[in-house]
Chains A and B, each alone.
Chain A
């Protein structure tokens, strides 16, 4: 027999299915909600329902969007001919915080990972080729993660997907993080930092 009332048990089970939430955390959140004002709990419930009802992937770039088009694709002030390719919608948030990019995005919704059986068909690679072919793109900036999957995806885009197009293909620079110590840098990062050194 369960120690808790059925609705509490159900909530703990549901919260426990979320990423990074274990049974103890799920129990703590459930009891927090039990103690919270009804208004606060309702606001959370409404936010979850609204998220599922109103938010989907942008039909153009596959960023999260309220409606068919995301705010970036719908903004006429953004540069129309430069495309930044990222793995996930949350990468867009990180790039937007820099304020250094004013073009548009293309979200792949993943990266090529042979060890997981994920190839180009499982991500939005064909859609990228279609956009470059149709949207008069002049530069594609590949901003996939600097790990093995991201590097493989970047090489595949540059060598296979964009090879037939007359488009400038660039990759985010790779090197040492600001604030770190040189002695802890791994060989690959340090090697790339040396290759990409700049005149002062």
Chain B
């Protein structure tokens, strides 16, 4: 049995037995890993809060036959605001659920790891609601299913793009319109995110557009996952209002 170390983000955890938990981590070099944290629910546990969802940590694991065992953990990035602010935690929970859904055990995705840690840190820093839609659009791009935004997905014209149809995968012109309306500002913001100008979008987008993009991005990722996100309704109705 071997020991190994890796950086990771805790995606979720489950209670196991009397005082243990199964921790699901998305690690930098081993992809998604499931490991048992023994005694973590006891108040005197050496792990403390380090293995809570959204923690970014460096951990040592003992390789097991079915599940690995977490033997040590230290926090890499402290994210205090994520724990104290309902809306920030809510949006972080949606991000964690998305990553949990699109990854498989052992599937290494360094770009996704970097994206997730960066998005969690940004969300903790300023709580900008656009961090979540930007994260979703970047994930869709990583998965190769980013929406087409610069021309109509039906007739390919670049003029009068006024609607977006998630099922068709992009924007539509006035003549072909289907799906739902999208403003020029929202479309430009999505395009800027895909072009790598995320900082510009975070700093310059108004609240109304942010809300539209948040709702749109949730439906985009649900379309891609082919399932509803469990966290999304709870977050939308209660934590971000």
Q: CB within 8 Å of B: which residues of A?
A: 20, 112, 114-120, 146-148, 151-152, 155-156, 159-160, 177, 179-180, 184-189, 191
B235 at the interface (CB under 8 A from A): yes
B187 at the interface (CB under 8 A from A): no
Q: Once the chains are docked, how many angstroms separate the CA of A164 from the CA of B158?
A: 51
B48 at the interface (CB under 8 A from A): yes
B231 contact from A117, A179, A188, A191, Cβ within 8 A: A117
A177 with B44: in contact, given A114-B230, A155-B86 (CB under 8 Å)? Answer: yes
A177 with B43: in contact, given A114-B239, A115-B230, A155-B86 (CB under 8 Å)? Answer: yes
B61 at the interface (CB under 8 A from A): no
Let me know if A156 and B75 touch, CB within 8 A. no
Chain B contacts with A in 22-66, Cβ cutoff 8 A: 43-44, 46-50, 52-54
Q: Once the chains are docked, how many angstroms separate the CA of A159 from the CA of B238?
A: 11
Let me know if A188 and B97 touch, CB within 8 A. no
Binds A, one of B76-84, B162-170, B174-182, B212-220: B76-84
28 A-B residue pairs with Cβ-Cβ distance under 8 Å, sorted by A, are A20-B17, A114-B234, A115-B12, A115-B53, A115-B93, A115-B97, A117-B234, A118-B234, A119-B237, A120-B238, A148-B53, A151-B83, A152-B86, A152-B89, A152-B239, A155-B85, A156-B86, A156-B239, A177-B43, A177-B44, A180-B44, A184-B46, A184-B48, A185-B48, A186-B47, A187-B75, A188-B48, A188-B49
Q: Which chain B residues lie closer than 8 Å to A185 at the CB level?
A: 48
B195 at the interface (CB under 8 A from A): no
Q: Which chain B residues lie closer than 8 Å to A159 at the CB level?
A: 86
Q: Once the chains are docked, how many angstroms separate the CA of A112 from the CA of B235?
A: 10
Q: Which chain A residues lie closer than 8 Å to B97 at the CB level?
A: 114-115
Q: CB within 8 Å of A: which residues of B?
A: 12, 17-18, 43-44, 46-50, 52-54, 75, 78, 80, 83-86, 89-90, 93-94, 96-97, 230-231, 233-235, 237-239
Chief secondary structure at chain A's binding surface: helix
Q: Once the chains are docked, how many angstroms separate the CA of A156 from the CA of B239?
A: 8
From residue A57, how far is it (CB to closest CB) to chain B in Å? Answer: 21
From residue A148, how far is it (CB to closest CB) to chain B in Å? Answer: 5
Q: Which chain B residues lie closer than 8 Å to A119 at the CB level?
A: 233-234, 237-238
- The residue on A at minimum CB distance from B18 is A20
Q: Once the chains are docked, how many angstroms separate the CA of A187 from the CA of B231?
A: 27
Let me know if B231 and A114 touch, CB within 8 A. yes
Q: Once the chains are docked, how many angstroms separate the CA of A118 from the CA of B239?
A: 12
Q: Which chain B residues lie closer than 8 Å to A156 at the CB level?
A: 86, 238-239
Q: Once the chains are docked, how many angstroms separate the CA of A119 from the CA of B240?
A: 13
Q: Which chain B residues lie closer than 8 Å to A112 at the CB level?
A: 234, 238
Q: Once the chains are docked, how many angstroms separate the CA of A184 from the CA of B193?
A: 41
Query: Given A147-B52, A148-B54, A186-B75, 19 other A-B contacts at CB below 8 A?
Result: A112-B238, A114-B94, A114-B97, A114-B230, A115-B97, A115-B230, A117-B233, A119-B233, A148-B52, A152-B89, A156-B86, A156-B238, A159-B86, A177-B44, A184-B46, A186-B48, A186-B49, A188-B49, A188-B80
From residue A128, how far is it (CB to closest CB) to chain B in Å? Answer: 14
Q: Once the chains are docked, how many angstroms separate the CA of A140 from the CA of B234?
A: 24
A148 contact from B46, B83, B230, B231, Cβ within 8 A: B83
- The residue on B at minimum CB distance from A120 is B238
A148 with B48: in contact, given A117-B231, A160-B238, A187-B78 (CB under 8 Å)? Answer: no
Q: Once the chains are docked, how many angstroms separate the CA of A114 from the CA of B97?
A: 9
A155 contact from B53, B84, B93, B231, Cβ within 8 A: B84
Q: Once the chains are docked, how many angstroms separate the CA of A116 from the CA of B100?
A: 12
Q: Which chain A residues lie closer than 8 Å to B83 at the CB level?
A: 148, 151, 188
- The residue on B at minimum CB distance from A184 is B46
Q: Which chain A residues lie closer than 8 Å to B43 at the CB level?
A: 177
- The residue on A at minimum CB distance from B12 is A115
Q: Once the chains are docked, how many angstroms separate the CA of A185 from the CA of B47?
A: 8
From residue B1, how far is it (CB to closest CB) to chain A in Å? Answer: 22
Q: Which chain B residues lie closer than 8 Å to A117 at the CB level?
A: 230-231, 233-234
